Amino acid sequence: MFYDTSMFRQKKCIFCILLFSVLLFSCGLKSKHDGDKQSEKILTADVLVILGEAFYEQDNILKYIIKMYTPQSVSDHIHILSYADMTAHSKQARTKVIKEYVDEHTTDYIISMGLPEGAGRWMLAVTEKYPDIISIALLPEEEVLPVQVSSAIVVQRADALDEESSDLSGRVDDNRILLLAGLLAAENCVQMPEKEPREQLNIGINTAYRAIFGNEISESKNTYTLLPYIDPDSNIPAYNHFILFEKHPMEEKSVEQEPS
């Protein structure tokens, strides 16, 4: 029987090209899938997240924490203590439940957003009894001094310092980012103990923006600059207390001239 070898070679060539294309596509998918896996961190620390009155009802507040860490590890290691839990049996927040929770559960970090008034005394009690617990206080409603003493890092927004401002909650998506940054800052306190709190927090904020928006556009999305809190009585900048200022094009130069 006579075979057309040229036709056979042509079909074989086409088959090889198709096979190579399929393998290349499969490898591309596998590489992308592996990359996705590598981008998901496993949370191993036990974290108590405290959500105050202005924040506990905000939708999907853990959105970006779940994006960065595996959902299962978030479920296993993060416990939320909300303002609703504190007021479940009374109109006034029963902030002692913070210490009661820590007394009964292993806790590595406490990340609070909107720490309620009156909670400072219990945070001080936690710090005294459990000095290894790292506390990050984001946008606290409690008085400054007990929060500073009981926390590794304190963060407030500049607009929240305005006594005439009635809305301390800010933009929901900004709060989601800040909550992730607070958790990363707590990790940095453990992993980078040689760095000062401001740098630990800055690294946490920048890492959060890169994880959420990618390296290319994270800088344009991060519209905040970080400055130390200045004590109004002594005029001395705090070591672990910082103010987030939102940069606007016309204000950026003046913000950079603030004391650092």
Which tens digits make up the pLDDT trace of 71-129?
Answer: 999 999 999 999 999 999 888 899 999 999 999 999 999 999 999 999 999 999 999 99
* Model confidence band, residue 65 (pLDDT cutoffs 50, 70, 90): very high
The CATH number given to whatever domain includes residue 205 is: 3.40.50.2300
The stretch 141-169 carries a mean pLDDT of 82
How much is the pLDDT for 86? 95
The pTM for the full model equals 0.79
The answer as to whether 178 is a domain residue is yes
How many structural domains comprise the chain? 1
Which residues, in sequence order, are bridge partners of residue 7? Answer: none
Report the pLDDT averaged over residues 184-196. 97
Query: For residue 79, is it within any domain?
Result: yes
pLDDT in tens, 229-238: 999 999 999 9
pLDDT band at 246 (very low <50, low <70, confident <90, very high): confident
Cα–Cα separations (whole angstroms), residue 73 to 1, 112, 132, 151, 179: 67, 19, 22, 25, 17
Q: Indicate the average pLDDT of the chain.
A: 82
Residue 90's pLDDT is what?
A: 85
Nearest-5° Cα angle at 113, 88 to 96 = 40
- Band (pLDDT 50/70/90 cuts) for residue 163 is low
> What is the residue range of 190's domain?
42-256
pLDDT value at position 169? Answer: 64
User: What's the pLDDT score for residue 92?
Assistant: 85
Q: Is residue 76 part of a domain?
A: yes
pLDDT per position as a tens digit, 139-149: 999 999 999 99
Q: Is residue 180 part of a domain?
A: yes
Residue 57 within any structural domain of the chain: yes
Residue 30 lies in a domain: no
| In a domain? residue 3 | no
pLDDT, position 154:
98
Report residue 258 as tokens. Answer: 């603030």
Is 12 part of a structural domain of the chain? no
Strand partners, 154: 137, 241
